[in-house]
Homo-oligomer: A and B are copies of this chain.
Amino acid sequence: MGLDEAAQKPHDRLAAWLADDMAAVNALIRTRMASEHAPRIPEVTAHLVEAGGKRLRPMLTLAAARMCGYQGENHVKLAATVEFIHTATLLHDDVVDESERRRGRPTANLLWDNKSSVLVGDYLFARSFQLMVETQSLRVMDILANASAVIAEGEVLQLTAAQDLGTTEGIYLQVIRGKTAALFAAAMEVGGVIATVPEAQVQALRAYGDALGIAFQIVDDLLDYGGTDAAIGKNTGDDFRERKLTLPVIKAVARADAEERAFWQRTIEKGDQRDGDLAQAMAIMARHGAMAAARDEALHWAETARRSLDILPAHELRDMLSDLADYVVARIN
């Protein structure tokens, strides 16, 4: 590897290493999202699947499988499965959040309607199950069916925790483990399972995915308050407007004086938000070092992710995954 390559983002290096596999995944996704009978389905999915997403989750499955020496073809099916599950949850999330933009483009629920987003999401879930059944691996199906249940559970938990100032960091961790880390963990785990590596290595892959997913989501939640619209494709302050209790807010609420507490009660609990409230929220969080503390936690989880890889044999892909864990948090800077 030359200096130029080393300087590339780890995500791009993974994409380069796995280019042939990713091409096969993309071809499979295009084939399987088609519907003979309902042309609305490929319209909606193409809008989302072709929207330039990073394909991070399917890449994790491919990397895990290849790093473990897998030589079959099920890694492509499983990578597509993982992307279908992810895309289905995005469609449903946008309905739930009443989002209007994702990855810098109008959301499907805005371009078509909520109905299409709900039903096309269901179609993609069903398609993902068809794909995983084709691998004929009961363990793989078990892992991915469980991940799907944990994802839905995390989303419901997030819904009921929203607007509730009593939300603890423990509940927040449970929410993001469900809505984000469960699929990262499953994506890594199935790669190791189909490569039939020893159980300790399968668990290490899973632990990497879990920690990476947690770091990733904490950073995403931080960027919602500090990132630029161009960088994340959604508007700063969305979570505040949706009254979601994310880590920096939870930390700020825990350290609030009486006046600040009244501010959080009005804006988050009662949803009475006025001009300047977002700036005020960010000022309060900065005053208590809530953003920096949340960033430290993301760094801790990135470290956990990297360490999980230690027991795996040396491999170029292992190094890239290790760098990816750092890079995920470096997005904040």
Contacts and interface: CB of A to CB of B under 8 A. Distances in A.
B119 A156 contact: yes
A277 interface: no
B156 A116 contact: yes
Given A133-B141, A145-B133, A119 B155 contact: yes
Summarize A's interface: helix, strand, loop or mixed: helix
Interface residues of A, number: 44
A157 interface: yes
A320 interface: no
Nearest to A132: B145
Interface string A146-165: 10110111111101100000
A122 interface: yes
B153 A35 contact: yes
A273 interface: no
A123 B149 contact: yes
Interface stretch (A14-22, A37-45, A256-264, A298-306): A37-45
A130 B146 contact: yes
A37 B157 contact: yes
A133 B153 CA distance: 19
12 contacts: A35-B156, A38-B153, A92-B118, A92-B119, A96-B114, A96-B115, A119-B156, A120-B152, A122-B152, A123-B149, A123-B156, A125-B125
